[in-house]
Structure 1
Amino acid sequence: MKKILRHEAKKAGSLRLSPLALRHRGFTLLELLVVLGIIAMLAGIVGPQVMKHMGESKTKAAKVQIEDLAAALDMYKLDLGNYPSSEQGLKALIESPDSAKRWNGPYLRKAKMPLDPWQQEYHYVAPGEHGKFDLFTYGADGKEGGEGEDQDIVSWE
């Protein structure tokens, strides 16, 4: 009979746990510190690799955006016969310049000028030193020159 009552009490959850059982219900401080140490080591190893690939993807995104802007500039030239001047800038792709009677834009999908992946404006010079126009961004550091993520991304290469 005692066994039956004990079994019923277990089902109801009314049995008290012994102090030994209470000690084994959670993790010890040492176990938590070991797990945190392992996580920190993994973050130290994986983190720099992830950041490297993020930088590479921003560079690739800037190249694609420059190609898209160059294509929009070519469409502008087809309609008007010439590229926008440096003074008109890339804004001529989304707003009609005063002197442009045959403007058939906007030439970009969005009516907002895109920024480079580092949230800086693209630079546009027409006529350019390397072609009909030069279109470029200075990269992550925002300064001319550089290597890796800091390198300039240009339309003429």
Structure 2
Amino acid sequence: MNTRINTRLHARGFSLLELTLVIAIMGVLMAVAAINLIGGADDAKIETTKASMKTIKDALQQYQTRNNSYPPALQTLITGTKQLQEGADLDSWDQPFYYSPVGRSGAPKEQGFTLISGGPDTQMGTEDDIDIWIALARKAAN
């Protein structure tokens, strides 16, 4: 009878190997979930930056309509005309937008200025840059 009780007591618990295996599997699942959440955060920042750029584009076009030229700097729309709020010249990665009152050569007349974000890597001139005109063209195509 005593051996039967001992056997039952030992059979109830998990072995160290089983516990280690379960913890390892949970760790892998948590790592995959974290990677997916981080990727989703970047997508949200990209969309927020595009929305900010559209707001800036609208303010630039209003300024151009009133003054017959684009402002020399985005700061003019923040401190001068107050069409934009403080910090509107920063993208979702807290980097300043690249703005030029001169459009790219060969661009249509309505694209009379350049507005670009460095994107997730915060570096200008790389593949992940966000250009207002390219972003709007892609949105219109969808």
- Measured after TM superposition, the shift of residue 72 of structure 1 is 1.0
Output the CA distance in 1 between the equivalents of 2:15 and 2:49: 48
Output the CA distance in 2 between the equivalents of 1:74 and 1:145: 27
Q: Does 1:117 align with 2:92?
A: yes
- Measured after TM superposition, the shift of residue 70 of structure 1 is 0.4
Hey, what does 2:83 align to over in structure 1?
A: 107
What SS class does the counterpart of residue 55 from structure 2 fall into?
helix
Hey, what does 2:47 align to over in structure 1?
A: 60
Output the CA distance in 2 between the equivalents of 1:114 and 1:80: 20
Aligned-CA RMSD value: 2.5
Q: Does 1:73 align with 2:60?
A: yes
- Measured after TM superposition, the shift of residue 128 of structure 1 is 1.4
- Gap change, CA 1:115 and 1:28, over 3 Å in 2: farther
User: Aligned residues, how many?
Assistant: 117
What SS class does the counterpart of residue 136 from structure 1 fall into?
strand
Hey, what does 1:22 align to over in structure 2?
A: none
Q: What is the correspondence of 1:34-45 to structure 2 with a 5 Å cutoff?
A: 36-45=23-32
Q: For residues 59-112 of structure 1, what are the alpha-carbon distances to aligned partners after superposition, in whole Å with 9 as ceiling and x for unaligned?
A: 111111111110111121232222112xxx10010122xxxxxxxx2111x234
Hey, what does 2:130 align to over in structure 1?
A: 153
Q: Does 1:137 align with 2:114?
A: no
Q: What is the correspondence of 1:80-99 to structure 2 with a 5 Å cutoff?
A: 80-85=67-72, 89-96=73-80
Please list every run of 5 or more consecutive structure 1 residues that lacks an aligned counterpart in the other structure: 1-26, 97-104
What SS class does the counterpart of residue 47 from structure 1 fall into?
helix
Q: Greater helix share, 1 or 2?
A: 2
Is the CA contact (8 Å cut-off) linking 2:90 and 2:96 kept in structure 1?
A: yes
Output the CA distance in 2 between the equivalents of 1:112 and 1:51: 24
- Measured after TM superposition, the shift of residue 44 of structure 1 is 1.8
Please report the TM-score for the alignment, with normalisation by the length of structure 1. Answer: 0.63
- Measured after TM superposition, the shift of residue 28 of structure 1 is 8.6
Please report the TM-score for the alignment, with normalisation by the length of structure 2. Answer: 0.69
